[in-house]
Amino acid sequence: MKNTFGNSFCVTLFGESHGQAIGAVLDGLKPGEEIDLQKISALLKMRKGAAAFSTKRNEKDEFKIVSGFFEGKTTGTPLCILIENNDTKSADYSEMKSVARPSHADYTAFLKYHGYNDYRGGGHFSGRITAALTAAGAIALQILERRGVKIGTHILSCDDVSDRHFENCEKDFEKLFSLSFPVLDDAARERIEEKITAARKDGDSVGGVLETVVTGFPASVGEPWFDTVEGVLSHILFSVPAVKGVSFGAGFDFGKMTGSEANDPFIIRDGKVITQTNRNGGINGGITNSMPIVINCAVKPTPSIYKTQKTIDFEKNEQTELLIKGRHDPAIIHKASVVVTAAAAIALLDLLSGRFGTDLNGI
């Protein structure tokens, strides 16, 4: 289905970095849901990230909803969000049109689209498109939140610096919204910021690992095969640019565990079934068990660095060197953290809508 995600609640993305506009169409929204436009703006602002580590591209990210929204509420018909591109300096890109930036999509896009893609600023592959994805996610988030589902993402590690895990999710999620940089522990935040500053000075970039937690998500959602909660979430999370790994619960640490360490005993607390530990990250057999869903995403370093790199000119089919000019970031993991939250919200709302119907009956 290419640029459309979802079976019951669907999001279609469109747009290029230097085109007229980017946007998203959201279909299958429950009618009558209030949407707070300020919350969309707030998430878009978070996505743009702390000034210190973000590019100079000065987009206001002003969005307009052109359909599916009436008198402050969703109508239930497709909701289209548009974000116009204003600050597009095409001149920056034209000369290196056919020089592949390593670890970017320039070369694969050339092959796939036979050279007809809009190459300016990465075109449809640009991180800019995540503004539309984020706006879509911001709407899904509000609908989830109204049903007690909350999502938060922080930088769990960057290089050798680790943040603490979520402790009090409610408070920690709120804290993340107030922070200019999504690290829970103050000391860790400072050290990660130093890492990024150092990378920037060196003309280099850094990666990291994100931790996302979803609380309040109903049990019994997901399928045993194929449309497992893990499968559906990972499907969309790998669309967040630079994400190259997705795991749930203990994830890759399971590789060093024994069954007796890894299993989560079921217990009854306050009349409710929970698990004593949550190494399975809220999912058993592809289906939610009411415990928090715990996701880790590996984020690779920004491919754009200020260093001369060996590469090819794919039109001339010859070896060349490249020193990328223009705006780029020493880290995108803080931006990715917002997009991961948004993307997760989209997938989770789709799963809920499939399970409980368009009207989300009973939740």
| d(C-alpha 89, C-alpha 33), whole Å | 38
Q: Of 9-17, 39-47, 55-63, 173-181, which part binds its own copies (CB under 8 A)?
A: 9-17
3-state secondary structure 220-249: CCCCCCCCCHHHHHHHHHCCCCCEEEEEEC
Residue 142 beta carbon to its own copies: minimum distance, rounded to whole angstroms: 15
Q: Can you read off the two tokens belonging to residue 81?
A: 């969000």
* DSSP states of 102-129: TTSSHHHHHHHHTT-S--GGGGGGSGGG
Sign of CA dihedral 176, 180, 186, 192: positive
Counting contacts by CB under 8 A, is residue 264 touching its own copies? yes
Q: Can you read off the two tokens belonging to residue 280?
A: 């399975």
Q: Can you read off the two tokens belonging to residue 102?
A: 């390593």
Counting contacts by CB under 8 A, is residue 362 touching its own copies? yes
Residue closer to its own copies (CB basis): 22 or 141: 22
Counting contacts by CB under 8 A, is residue 257 touching its own copies? yes
Residue 97 beta carbon to its own copies: minimum distance, rounded to whole angstroms: 12
Per-residue mark of binding to its own copies, 134-173 (x: CB under 8 A): -----------------------xxxx-------------
Region at 221 (left for phi over 0; alpha for psi -120 to 50; beta for the rest): beta
Counting contacts by CB under 8 A, is residue 235 touching its own copies? yes
Counting contacts by CB under 8 A, is residue 111 touching its own copies? yes
Q: Can you read off the two tokens belonging to residue 343?
A: 């993307």
Sign of CA dihedral 170, 5, 66, 18: positive
Judged by CB under 8 A, the chain residues 321 through 340 that form the site for its own copies are none
Among 136, 176, 232, 339, binds its own copies (CB under 8 A): 232
Per-residue mark of binding to its own copies, 53-72 (x: CB under 8 A): -----------xxxxx-x--
Q: Among residues 192, 172, 173, which one has the least CA distance to residue 181?
A: 192
User: Cβ–Cβ contacts within 10 Å for residue 352, how many?
Assistant: 23
Residue 124 beta carbon to its own copies: minimum distance, rounded to whole angstroms: 4
Residue 143 beta carbon to its own copies: minimum distance, rounded to whole angstroms: 13
Among 103, 145, 169, 197, binds its own copies (CB under 8 A): 103
DSSP character at residue 131:
H
Judged by CB under 8 A, the chain residues 279 through 308 that form the site for its own copies are 279-281, 283-289, 296, 298-305, 307
Give me the amino acid identity at 304: S
Judged by CB under 8 A, the chain residues 195 through 224 that form the site for its own copies are 199, 202, 204-209, 219-224
Residue 358 beta carbon to its own copies: minimum distance, rounded to whole angstroms: 6
| d(C-alpha 323, C-alpha 107), whole Å | 16
Site size with its own copies, rule: CB under 8 A: 156
Judged by CB under 8 A, the chain residues 17 through 46 that form the site for its own copies are 19-23, 25, 27-28, 31-32
Residue closer to its own copies (CB basis): 115 or 171: 115
Among 123, 137, 152, 292, binds its own copies (CB under 8 A): 123
Counting contacts by CB under 8 A, is residue 90 touching its own copies? no
* Distance, CA of 70 to chain centre: 28
| d(C-alpha 169, C-alpha 278), whole Å | 14
Among 261, 315, 323, 325, binds its own copies (CB under 8 A): 261
Counting contacts by CB under 8 A, is residue 82 touching its own copies? yes
Give yes or no for a contact between 139 and 26, defined as CB atoms under 8 angstroms apart.
yes
